[in-house]
Amino acid sequence: MINRLFNIIIAFLIPFSINSYLYAQWSEISYDQNSLRMYGASITENGNIYFIINNIDRTRSVLKTNKTGINWEESVLYIDDNGFGRLTSIDFPDSLNGYVVGGKGKIFKTEDSGTTWIDISVSSGQDFYDVEFLNDSTGFISGQKIKKTVDSGESWNEVFSSTGNIEFVTDSIGFILTSNQYIYKSIDQGETWKEIQLTKDENTVLNDIHFVSDSIGYVIENSYNSYVAKLYRTTDQGSTWNSIDLLGYETFSDVGFESDSIGYIIGADSVFLKTIDAGNTWKSLDDYHPFHGGLIVFEFGLGVITGSSKGESIILINSENFVEILNSEETENKNDRRLDLSQNYPNPFNPTTTINFSLKKADRISLTVYDITGRLVSKLITEKAYSSGIHQIVFNGSYLSSGVYIYKLEASEEVITRMFTLVK
């Protein structure tokens, strides 16, 4: 295993507008989508966020950051020579212990918050699609069948004869979501499973399951013979489910709720929706149209949404404990911002690069540069008055070593932060 500092080109934007349907408390990171693919994420109670990534150079890695999204560290688990051993799922039951699964029997675990990873792959070579751990020793993996361990992955026993997505809401109560019309519920830590039929339509596929709390959960259903997708909601730990028709939509990829009422749905067909009334009505987040969704994860008061929009991949990270985002009548578009900071060019650069920024009205501006650890390395502008319009400054990094740096533009009411890469 190789630990290396994550040095891909990333643009980092922190919107500070308080009248926003989406942007309040969220940070946006844009990155070169040709460099990596994110396939799963897990959030721990201490605020660490872990992604599994399958790079185009066939390195299979875990990418670690925290809620600020500034510092990133990549741990390369292995090199996938034939391209069939992609990582598929990651889960941290606590702040120290984590598990990753993938194709060709790949299983890895960490006992030190991702600093080191231990290969505990199985010899069967079967592909694994999902992993869910209740604590450091008891967990489940989904391949051709669902298997359970009680000894931290040293041994595995079959508990379900088919594959599916695994979701436990307590140490005892869990669900398996299959692709057909059924979900399965266990009340004895996965030893036995009871079948629950959600739909009788054979032309639909159940695609994702997410529980907000022990009692409240959601399942999304994709339809392939009509433009009517469905959202199923339970408030009694899955004993009963009520359906909500989502007219005009056909396929969704993921659903996640940050509270009982506020949730998001993403999909491959330019779908990025938000609800503030427990899924009864949904609003399209048009600032990201077209948005091609990846995954949604909410845990411990933090949230992550990944996908691609307008040719670039993005990560949205909720950077504070969840607060109720104001309703759509108070929506403020990105175009209403008074400050804009462009990505530098060229990027990567050596040793000079040009930074453009624009103001909608006159203001005092500061522009500073930090290294990846957050240490201040340059003050380009300090509280200087600028008129409205487009402005340009050239940064010379000849005195710095190669690496990723952060440049931050501050005005009286807004702050925007991006990253650039110096290569010597």
Q: Are residues 171 and 26 in the same domain?
A: yes
pLDDT in tens, 288-329: 555 566 788 888 878 887 766 555 556 666 644 322 222 222
- The residues, ordered by sequence, that sit 6+ positions from 376 with a Cβ below 8 Å of its Cβ are 368, 369, 370
Two structure tokens written together for 322: 């969840």
Select from 229, 313, 235 the least CA-distant residue to 273.
229
Last residue of a domain, one of 318, 334, 350: 334
Same structural domain, 259 and 357: no
Domain match, 310 and 231 both: yes
pTM over 0.75: no
Q: Give me the CATH number covering residue 403.
A: 2.60.40.2550
| Number of other CB atoms surrounding residue 350 within 10 Å | 13
Residue range of the domain that includes 393: 337-422
CA 175 – CA 2 distance, rounded (Å)? 35
Q: Tell me the two tokens of residue 326.
A: 């104001």
Is the N-terminal amide bond of 93 cis, ω within 30° of 0? no
278 and 357 together in one domain: no
pLDDT number for residue 326: 20
Q: What pLDDT score was predicted for residue 35?
A: 45
Q: How many CB atoms lie within 10 A of CB 122?
A: 18
- Whether residue 107 sits in one domain with residue 15: yes
Domain boundary among 314, 334, 354: 334
Residue with tokens 């339809």: 223
Model pLDDT, residue 347: 78
Could you say which residues of the chain have pLDDT below 70? 1-38, 68-70, 83, 179, 224-228, 247-248, 250, 268-270, 286-293, 307-337, 372-374
Handedness of CA 240, 244, 250, 253 (dihedral sign): negative
Identify whether residues 388 and 285 lie together within a single domain.
Answer: no
Specify whether 257 is located in the same domain as 366.
no
Are 106 and 87 spatial neighbours (Cβ–Cβ below 8 Å)? yes
The predicted structure's pLDDT at residue 13: 29
Average pLDDT, the chain: 79
Structural domain count of the chain: 2
Q: Is-contact 391 384, C-beta < 8 A? A: no
Among 334, 362, 380, the domain-final residue is 334
Domain match, 256 and 396 both: no
| Same domain for 378 and 278 | no
In the prediction, which pLDDT does 9 show? 29
**Which CATH number does the domain housing residue 157 bear?**
2.130.10.10
Cα radius of gyration (the chain): 23
Residues 93 and 122 in one domain: yes
Same domain, 359 and 318: no
> Do 406 and 70 meet the contact criterion of CB atoms below 8 Å apart?
yes
Q: 74 and 16 in one domain?
A: yes
